């Protein structure tokens, strides 16, 4: 209950600020949640760059309290009636319902990249009260691979009380609800026949654009990845723009200023936020130029003003991107780098990719990727049209495109509003061009960013492309709803059309979502393994502090166990520990394990990594046969699957010296130049001189940990 109330307090602060905007600006109430949520994201991130994350959140709460008292003391009879619109009521009800549901169900992080980045980033931000890039963690790669917008939104909802993963999911859900509200921005209570189907469509939107008929669970509302919320947010920015245009709020200046905030928020969602933000700005500018926003199309002055606004939107995106790059550069991360196998900058990647696309000769930097580019280009074209590659519930990418065009065409043909008719056709053109650009950009990342083993199967193709499909379809639905609101040229045919489209999405959802998976999102049994693992770690983690470094052992691990344990063990630091996986003394056992280390070499690593403890998640017989002499209990009576924690005791007076290439035991550890490869590139392998009986690992009992 306390965690529910603490999370509800964060949500209440957002609702109060929304109410204040609705009362003191000309924004319809339903159009206030998205600006407020985006403000929380952008403001906290930018202040976090200055080391003022905690004061920024306190300021937002103080602002909400001041706004509440001001509204109460200046309230007039019936002064809050403007809040009773379908969109705003849905936002408040859905946000509170999600928080209550998650508080009862207590979902936890589940998927690989939640542990390797997203959920870990949120937990680190809460634990350290700084942006996660600055938090202390034992990872060897640069922590700045993603932007901090979503982790800081999760931080706002975790600010009061202790961190919980469900509170992170609640933060994402509130963002989704703000987008639903924006899509229903101008609808009034009398438009309930349109509002109800619109709410259904927006709720199903993330499911509909993520193909669900998998042999494993594919999480939607319980997923911390940045891909889905970034796509939903982009659809919200588009929906907000078209609703603002229909509402004619303060002419041209007032509503468009908010859009810069949305553009900045999209940029801060993920590393691919920059191109999506620019595409969003281009779609909006295209509509402004050819459909008008309160001014005549032939007005030259107006055209320059609208082009100037595109520059302003681009500057808002580029500004936060540059600020992020400068901030990361101050921490030692590459400025403006896209990372990956080439570690190119954005500009270089785009230049080299465009050259290859046009058949021009590449530079020396792009030449090594020529063959890879040809393979990826062919495969990306195939995947878009292939009927067996279902990226949405509509089918392939091409089928999704046809569905979106059909929705826009029906709305355009039937609506009474000439401007909306023109806007529908312009959106069809601009969004399709935007898709082509984004699709090309994703292809470039597979060529220049991803490693060869990931590009062989176009790894995570659906996940990356679903971001745009979410935004694309969401924008089309928002325009269709506006067309219905404006009225149909044939009685109430468009109002009926919203109900038909909503029912069609419900039918398809029912066909492709397994019945046992229809609870948001999945049965509790799905989380059993993760919760069991967390419980096993928690038996000992109470003993650990942020100053402790723990060596992880799981000789059956593929890497996921290491990330999961690192997440569960925070604030203690899990050293890289070869990322989990098999290691043993190959010479002693006469075998060829993945990593061959003698007992003295492994002990030297414990010394070099300054490990306080060794945590054994799971270990095979070869492990104790190799290293049993280091353990005070020699691993006696160890059962596979049992977890243990050992204290590292080091004899004083030992001296560590680096290993040379000649000391490496397996050829697999040498790269093509004969240098020590893999983990040895990241941590200097050591050996101990005069190391006989220099280290002992003593077991820590659960009773001792509890004490």
| 524 lies in some domain | no
Count how many Cα atoms sit within 13 Å of the Cα of residue 509 in the half-sphere of its side chain.
19
pLDDT for the residue 142: 47
Q: Tokens for 144?
A: 């700045």
Considering the domain architecture, whether residues 458 and 601 belong to the same structural domain is answered as: no
Judge whether 458 lies within some domain.
yes
Start-end of H helices in 268-299: 273-291
Judge if 486 and 561 occupy the same domain: no
Q: Is 395 helix (H, G, I), strand (E, B) or coil?
A: strand
pLDDT of residue 674: 42
DSSP state for residue 628 in the 8-state scheme? G
Q: Which one of 474, 489, 517 terminates a domain?
A: 517
Mean pLDDT, residues 140-169: 87
Q: Tokens 């859009």 belong to which residue?
A: 259
The residue out of 517, 547, 571 marking a domain boundary is: 517
Helix axes 273-291, 300-330, angle to 10 degrees: 170
Cα 3 to Cα 162: distance, rounded to the nearest angstrom: 8
Residue 262 forms part of a structural domain: yes
Count of beta carbons in the 10 Å neighbourhood of residue 172: 24
Q: What angle do CA 199, 510, 87 make, to 5 degrees?
A: 5
Query: Which has the minimum average pLDDT: 194-203, 289-298, 337-346?
Result: 337-346
Helix axes 165-183, 86-105, angle to 10 degrees: 160
- Examine the domain organization and report whether 536 and 488 are in the same domain: no
Per residue in 613-627, pLDDT tens? 999 988 888 888 888
Least confident of 209-213, 408-412, 480-484, 662-666: 662-666
Does the structure show a pLDDT above 50 at 242?
yes
Does 127 lie in the same domain as 257? yes
Answer for the pair 211, 397: CB distance below 8 angstroms, yes or no.
no
Enclosing H/E stretch for 435: helix 418-448
The answer to whether residues 545 and 489 belong to one domain is no
| Strand pairing report for 695-700 and 644-650 | antiparallel
Which of 16-25, 97-106, 156-165, 519-528 has the least mean pLDDT? 519-528
- 129-143 residue pLDDT tens: 999 988 887 665 545
% of residues, the chain, pLDDT over 70: 84
Q: How many domains does the chain have?
A: 2
Tell me the C-alpha distance between 403 and 423, whole Å.
Answer: 18
Q: For the whole model, what pTM was predicted?
A: 0.90
Query: Angle 189-194-196 (CA atoms, 0-180°, nearest 5)?
Result: 80
Does residue 166 form part of some domain?
yes
Ordered strands of the 549-554 beta sheet: 573-574, 549-554, 613-618, 644-650, 695-700
* pLDDT at site 457: 61
The predicted pLDDT at position 148 comes to 92
pLDDT digits (tens, 9 = 90+) for 598-615: 888 888 888 878 889 999
* Inside any domain, residue 219: no
* SS3 assignment for 215-265: CCCCCCCCCCCCHHHHHHHHHHHHHHHHHHHHHCCCCCHHHHHHHHHHHHH
Per residue in 22-45, pLDDT tens? 988 888 999 999 999 999 999 999
Whether 195 contacts 471, CB under 8 Å: no
Q: List pLDDT tens digits, range 319-358.
A: 999 999 889 888 876 544 454 555 566 677 778 788 888 8
- Domain boundary, last residue among 517, 550, 568: 517
In the structure encoding, which two tokens stand for residue 617, read together?
A: 């998640």
Question: Between β-strands 655-658 and 686-689, what pairing exists: parallel, antiparallel or unpaired?
Answer: antiparallel
Higher-confidence position of 665 and 635: 635
Q: Which two tokens stand for residue 633?
A: 């209990």
Q: Give 6's pLDDT tier (boundaries 50, 70, 90).
A: very high
- Co-location of 606 and 458 in the same domain: no
Q: Does residue 523 lie in a domain region?
A: no
Tally the C-alpha atoms within 13 A of residue 400's C-alpha that lie toward its C-beta. Answer: 30
Task: Give the DSSP H/E element, type plus range, for residue 551.
Answer: strand 549-554
In this structure, are residues 204 and 44 in contact, taking their beta carbons and an 8 Å threshold? no
On the question of pLDDT at 5 being above 80, the answer is yes
Determine the pLDDT at residue 332. 72
Same-domain status, 394 and 536: no
The answer to whether 564 touches 120, Cβ cutoff 8 Å, is no
Residue among 287, 348, 341 nearest 313 (CA): 287
Q: Are strands 655-658 and 573-574 parallel, antiparallel or unpaired?
A: unpaired
312 pLDDT tier (thresholds 50, 70, 90): very high
Any domain includes 623: yes
478 lies in the same domain as 539: no
- The count of residues in the chain is 707
Q: Is the pLDDT of residue 19 over 80?
A: yes
H or E element, residue 617: strand 613-618
| DSSP codes, 80-91 | TGGG-SHHHHHH
Give me the phi and psi of 644, to 5 degrees please.
Answer: -145, 150
Greater confidence, 292 or 104?
Answer: 104
Residues 259/260/265/266 CA torsion (nearest 10 deg): 70
More confident residue, 142 or 648: 648
Has residue 426 got a pLDDT over 90?
A: yes
Beta-ladder partners of 656: 688
549 and 504 belong to one structural domain: no
Q: Is residue 522 part of a domain?
A: no
- 451 with 571, same domain: the answer is no
- Quote the tokens at residue 513: 């979502």
**CA 621/CA 279 separation, integer angstroms:** 56
Residues 487 and 554 grouped into a single domain? no
Computed over every residue of the chain, the mean pLDDT equals 84
Residue 614's domain spans which residues? 529-706
d(CA 690, CA 652): 12
414 and 295 fall within a common domain: yes
Angle between the N-to-C axes of helices 192-208 and 86-105, in degrees from 0 to 180, rounded to the nearest 10: 40
CB atoms within 10 A of CB 55: 13
Token representation of residue 180: 């639903």
């Amino acid at each position: 209950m306390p965690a529910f109330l603490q999370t509800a307090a964060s949500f209440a602060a957002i609702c109060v600020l929304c109410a204040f905007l609705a009362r003191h600006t000309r924004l319809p109430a339903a159009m206030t949640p998205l600006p407020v949520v985006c403000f929380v994201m952008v403001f906290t991130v930018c202040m976090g760059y200055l080391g003022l994350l905690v004061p920024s959140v306190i300021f937002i709460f103080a602002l909400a309290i001041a706004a509440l008292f001001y509204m109460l003391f200046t309230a007039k009879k019936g002064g809050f009636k403007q809040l009773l619109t379908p969109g705003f009521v849905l936002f408040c009800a859905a946000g509170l319902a999600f928080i209550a549901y998650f508080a009862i169900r207590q979902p936890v992080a589940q998927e690989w990249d939640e542990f390797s980045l997203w959920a870990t980033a949120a937990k680190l931000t809460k634990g350290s009260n700084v942006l996660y890039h600055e938090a202390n963690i034992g990872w060897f790669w640069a922590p700045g691979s993603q932007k901090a917008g979503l982790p800081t939104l999760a931080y706002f909802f975790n600010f009061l009380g202790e961190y919980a993963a469900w509170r992170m999911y609640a933060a994402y859900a509130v963002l989704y609800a703000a987008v639903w509200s924006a899509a229903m921005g101008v609808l009034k209570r009398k438009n309930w026949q349109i509002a109800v189907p619109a709410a259904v469509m927006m709720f199903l939107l993330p499911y509909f654009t993520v193909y669900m008929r998998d042999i494993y669970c594919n999480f939607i509302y319980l997923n911390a990845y940045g891909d889905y919320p970034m796509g939903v947010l982009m659809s919200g920015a588009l929906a907000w723009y078209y609703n603002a245009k229909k509402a004619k709020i303060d002419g041209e200046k007032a509503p468009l200023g908010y859009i810069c905030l949305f553009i900045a928020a999209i940029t801060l969602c993920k590393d691919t936020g920059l191109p999506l933000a620019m595409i969003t700005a281009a779609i909006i500018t295209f509509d402004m130029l050819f459909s008008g926003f309160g001014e005549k199309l032939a007005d030259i002055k107006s055209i320059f003003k609208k082009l100037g606004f595109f520059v302003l939107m681009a500057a808002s995106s580029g500004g936060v991107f540059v600020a992020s790059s400068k901030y990361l550069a101050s921490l030692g991360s590459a400025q403006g780098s896209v990372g990956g196998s080439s570690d190119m900058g954005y500009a270089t990647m785009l230049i080299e990719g465009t050259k290859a696309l046009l058949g021009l000769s590449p530079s020396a930097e792009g030449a090594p990727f020529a063959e890879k580019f040809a393979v990826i280009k062919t495969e990306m074209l195939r995947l878009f049209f292939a009927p067996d590659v279902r990226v949405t519930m509509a089918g392939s990418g091409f089928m999704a495109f046809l569905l979106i065009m059909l929705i826009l065409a029906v709305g355009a043909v039937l609506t009474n509003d000439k401007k909306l008719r023109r806007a529908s056709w312009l959106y069809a053109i601009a969004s399709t061009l935007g898709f082509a650009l984004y699709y090309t950009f994703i292809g470039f990342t597979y060529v220049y960013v991803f490693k060869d083993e990931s590009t062989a199967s176009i790894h995570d193709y659906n996940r990356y492309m679903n971001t745009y499909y979410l935004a694309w379809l969401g924008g089309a639905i928002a325009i269709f709803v506006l067309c219905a609101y404006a009225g149909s040229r044939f009685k109430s045919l468009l109002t009926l059309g919203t109900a038909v489209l909503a029912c069609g999405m419900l039918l398809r959802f029912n066909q492709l979502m397994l019945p046992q998976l229809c609870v948001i999102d999945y049965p509790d049994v799905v989380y059993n393994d993760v919760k069991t693992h967390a419980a096993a770690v928690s038996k000992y983690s109470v003993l650990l502090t942020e100053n402790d470094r723990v060596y992880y052992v799981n000789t059956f691990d593929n890497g996921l166990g290491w990330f999961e344990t690192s997440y569960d063990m925070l604030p203690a630091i899990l050293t890289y520990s070869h990322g989990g996986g098999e290691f043993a003394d190959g010479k002693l056992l006469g075998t060829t394990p993945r990593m061959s280390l003698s007992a003295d070499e492994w002990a030297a690593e414990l010394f070099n990594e300054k490990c306080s403890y060794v945590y054994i998640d799971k270990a095979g017989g070869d492990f104790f046969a190799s290293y049993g002499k280091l353990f005070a209990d020699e691993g006696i009576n160890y059962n596979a699957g049992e977890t243990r924690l050992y204290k590292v005791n080091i004899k004083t007076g030992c001296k560590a010296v680096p290993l040379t290439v000649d000391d490496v035991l397996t050829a697999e550890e040498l790269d093509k130049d004969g240098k020590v490869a893999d983990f040895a590139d990241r941590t200097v392998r050591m050996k101990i001189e005069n190391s006989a009986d220099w280290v002992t690992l003593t077991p820590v009992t659960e009773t001792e940990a509890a004490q």
